[in-house]
Chains A and B, each alone.
Chain A
Amino acid sequence: MKTDRSPHYRLMLIEPSALVSRGIRSLLAEHPEFDNLTVYHDLAHGLEQLTRLRPDLLLINPSVIDFQKRLFVRTLSPALEEIPLIAIVYGLMEEEALKQYDGSIGLYDEPAHIVRKLRKALEKQHPHSVPSRHDDLSNREKEILVAVARGLTNKEIADMHHISIYTVISHRKNISRKTGIKTISGLTIYALLHQMIDQEEWMASEGRK
């Protein structure tokens, strides 16, 4: 999908007005990096395709979102956790709602200004998308993982290491994020495969069951 040199982004636009959406399309068509634009006029159809199309950036008119959900735009779909968002604003929009976006454009913005805003939003790595997935477990995390695999509760682990339960929970979240493994049986396998639990000992205890 990418051209040889210059970046080529896939954009999705959710905007109820045909006038505005066509305006945006023709404006962006002048910039090869932004000429790949898929348009929806309502939220439901846009969301339905969002995960499949995985656009690099979503332009959305916040007024298509129900009032109650406007303040939680990133919870509308799991895909939205990572995609940069640009709000298209004409008419009244709550200040609070706009804070969740990586930029906003209005009817009277200069074309060059709009393009700059899009580039800026794309440059900004969203905090949700940078979890250090490749990180190895820290020593503390390894200790806690072994304790979990041995069947200890959060409370017991907290007491053992003189830390709060919340710290234990936060370590466990990080362990799951890094390894992709959530359940205790899964973590046990991880610990065994990495020889963090003695395999012979485990074999022997299994034999007794």
Chain B
Amino acid sequence: MKTAKTTAPVEGRALPERTASWLFSPKSKLADLIQANYKLLFVLRRLGIVLGFGEIKVEEMCRRYAISPDFFLLICRIHSNENPLLPDDWLQRLPVNELIDYLHRSHLYYAHQIPVLRNKIREMARSCEPIHLKILERFLDDYQQETDHHFAYEEETVFPYIHQLVAGHPGNGYNIEQFEHNHSNIEEKLHDLQNIVLKYLPESCQPELRDEVLFDIFLLEEDLHKHTLLENQLLIPYVAQLESHENR
């Protein structure tokens, strides 16, 4: 294995059978992870990890920032694979406070990023006709409102409930089943917007800005999708398990 490189498989040719798990190990170099999937930069930012870390290994970085390496690698795997393979015992080992903190920081990021995207779209639409600007504005207003509402619900209702549950104070009639799965709608609308910008705005739209907007949407779409995965596949099962213990 001494010459094995931790880059993505080239040409799908017989890659070492455990490449994926091998890349995401505590002994890996953090920079290798990012070079294998640059979108992990979003993860670093949310965890407060600052770039310029040289040849640091994952385990050392986790020590420095007081992050559980298991958790960090789990997040990286989920962000890097479409069918992430969760360790069998993740449910027992999940540091739920770290997960909630991560989700919270993701919300802050979206709350910042959606208006940024909105401004870019506005600027792009100015190069089309006024009516296009107006049509898109309306859509973006709705979208902004919907996402604000969605994140506020999680921040104000869901997360405090989980914190209480973890602390051993079962909630007041609330349970995680009520957690609305309205993420999908947030994702759907963004996907619609992507189709509209890609296919249906007129050719007169300023091309460089249009590309830039599309790149932003694609990245945001993917990131939001991972966010949903984290909530649906980690947070909800974890809390459901806590609740079932509570009710015993």
Q: Do A and B come from one complex?
A: yes
List residues of A whose CB falls within 8 A of some B CB: 1, 10, 12, 36-41, 44-45, 47-55, 77-79, 179-183, 185-190, 192-194, 199, 202-203, 206
CB-CB under 8 A for A50 and B83, given A179-B195, A180-B191: yes
- The CB with the most chain B CB atoms within 10 A, among A10, A47, A185, is that of A185
Q: A38-B14, A189-B135 are in contact. Are A183 and B20 (CB under 8 A)?
A: no
List of 4 A-B pairs having minimum Cβ-Cβ separation, nearest first? A186-B192, A51-B82, A180-B195, A47-B83
- Most chain A CB within 10 A, of B12, B81, B84, is at B12
In Å, the complex CA distance between A73 and B202 comes to 42
List the B residue with the shortest CB-CB distance to A181. B192
- When C-beta atoms are compared, the residue in chain B nearest to A36 turns out to be B13
Size range of the chain B interface in the assembly: 35 or more
Cβ contact within 8 Å between A39 and B12? no
The reply to whether B192 and A10 form a contact with Cβ atoms under 8 Å apart is no
- Can you list 10 contacts pairing A with B, beta carbon distance less than 8 Å? A49-B20, A51-B83, A182-B191, A185-B139, A185-B189, A186-B188, A186-B192, A189-B136, A189-B196, A203-B131
Q: Which chain B residues have a beta carbon within 8 Å of chain A's beta carbons?
A: 8-9, 11-15, 17-18, 20, 81-85, 131-132, 134-136, 138-139, 142-143, 185, 188-189, 191-196, 199-202
Asked whether, in the complex, the Cβ of B192 is within 8 Å of the Cβ of A48, the reply is no
CB distance from A70 to the nearest CB of B (A): 18
The interface residues of chain A, by DSSP majority, are classed as helix
Q: Is the interface of B mostly helix, strand, loop or mixed?
A: helix
Query: Residues of A contacting B192 with CB < 8 Å?
Result: 180-183, 185-187, 189
Question: Which residue on B lies nearest to A195, using beta carbons?
Answer: B131
Residues of A within 8 A of B9 (CB): 38, 49, 53
Q: Are B14 and A190 in contact (CB under 8 A)?
A: no
Contact A206 B138 (CB under 8 A): yes
Judging by beta carbons under 8 Å apart, are A180 and B84 in contact? Answer: no
The smallest beta-carbon distance between B16 and chain A, in angstroms, is 10
B20–A194 contact, CB under 8 A? no
Contacts of B17 in A (CB 8 A): 39-41, 45
Chain A residues with CB under 8 A of B199: 179-180
